[in-house]
Amino acid sequence: MKRRTKININPKHVLMFCVFISALLIIISLRFGEKLKPVKEAVGSAITPMQRGINVVGMFISDKLDNFKKINELLEENERLKEQVNVLSYENKLLLQDKRELDELRRLFKLDQKYLDYPKVAAHVISKDSDNWYNVFTIDKGTRDGLAKNMNVLAGNGLAGIIIEAHYNYSIVRSIIDDNSSVSGMILDSSDLCIVKGDLQLMDEGKIRVEHIDIATDVKEGAEVVTSHISDYFFEGISIGYITEVKVDASKMTKTAYLKPVVDFERLEEVLIITELKEPLID
């Protein structure tokens, strides 16, 4: 057969050729990362619908299974929640009074509500990276829905991550617990700055490391850490988590703490994206 003869290329040559191509790609993507975007876009547009499809089917099935399993649990929970509602509605009343007072004071200070007012878009998490190292995931919204690189991603009421690549119908998000992530944060009580750094090793304990806290700061356990005003990419005042453990560094110049993120990264299914970019300080 004619076709057989084609296979007689020496594998060594193909090996050298492919190694050369990959090396070239590494260099190109390092130097001119943006140039390769159309290629990524094309491949991504083909793959993401499949990933989304699998997710829709899978979720449907697991939802149905869960329904059967959880009816009893739900009944119990319902009882418990009803009691809780009573307690909470009383507390809520008190809080509303406080809020009115707060609004009054805010108006006096001419402060507005902070990040509640940013325009947001909701999206589903559709896939996770293929190695188990990273905490990078894709969401099913892209530039088509007004998303762009470096937009902040929230989940529930805390910071989940940042968009590192936006494509036409999907985007890639790096979560703040990723080993590569580092966010400029601020301890809410004392307004002291710190760096919130993800660490793969702490991920299992559900913690993130907080570095570069000034030694003079009195950091209490349970203090809330929010994104800082000097952050280049993150809007100010988004909750990151609560401090659980503080220790003094070996250098005796700074403290390191651990915080428990507000967002539950184990079960991240829906996220909110702030569709505004933080204005860079210098440009």
- Contacts with other proteins, residue ranges (CB under 8 A): 1, 3, 7, 9, 11, 14-15, 18-19, 21-26, 28-30, 33, 36, 39-40, 43-44, 47, 50-52, 54-55, 58, 62, 126-134, 136, 138, 164-165, 172, 179-184, 195, 197, 200-201, 204, 212, 228, 230-234, 281
Which of the 8 DSSP states describes residue 218? -
Residue 39 or 95 having the CB closest to other proteins: 39
- Cβ neighbors of 169 (< 8 A, separation 6 or more) are 44, 45, 48, 49, 140, 141, 142, 144
Q: How far is the CB of 182 from other proteins (least distance, A)?
A: 4
The CA distances from residue 17 to 3, 24, 26, 127, in Å, are: 22, 10, 14, 32
Which residue's structure tokens are 């009803």? 82
Residue 17 or 90 having the CB closest to other proteins: 17
Find the angle CA(180)-CA(192)-CA(227) to the nearest 5 degrees.
45
Q: How far is the CB of 225 from other proteins (least distance, A)?
A: 14
Q: How far is the CB of 145 from other proteins (least distance, A)?
A: 19
Structure tokens at 42: 């094309």
Cβ–Cβ < 8 Å for 166, 142: yes
Residue 9 or 88 having the CB closest to other proteins: 9
Residue 28 or 85 having the CB closest to other proteins: 28
Cβ–Cβ < 8 Å for 212, 182: no
Residue 127 or 256 having the CB closest to other proteins: 127
Q: How far is the CB of 69 from other proteins (least distance, A)?
A: 15
Q: How far is the CB of 261 from other proteins (least distance, A)?
A: 15
Q: How far is the CB of 141 from other proteins (least distance, A)?
A: 16
End-to-end CA distance of the chain: 64
Which amino acid is it at 236?
E
Cβ–Cβ < 8 Å for 173, 161: yes
Residue 7 or 75 having the CB closest to other proteins: 7
Q: In terms of Cα–Cα distance, which of 234, 176, 163, 233 is closest to 207?
A: 176
**76 membership: H or E segment, kind and range:** helix 37-109
Which amino acid is it at 86?
N
Q: How far is the CB of 155 from other proteins (least distance, A)?
A: 15
Residue 113 or 132 having the CB closest to other proteins: 132
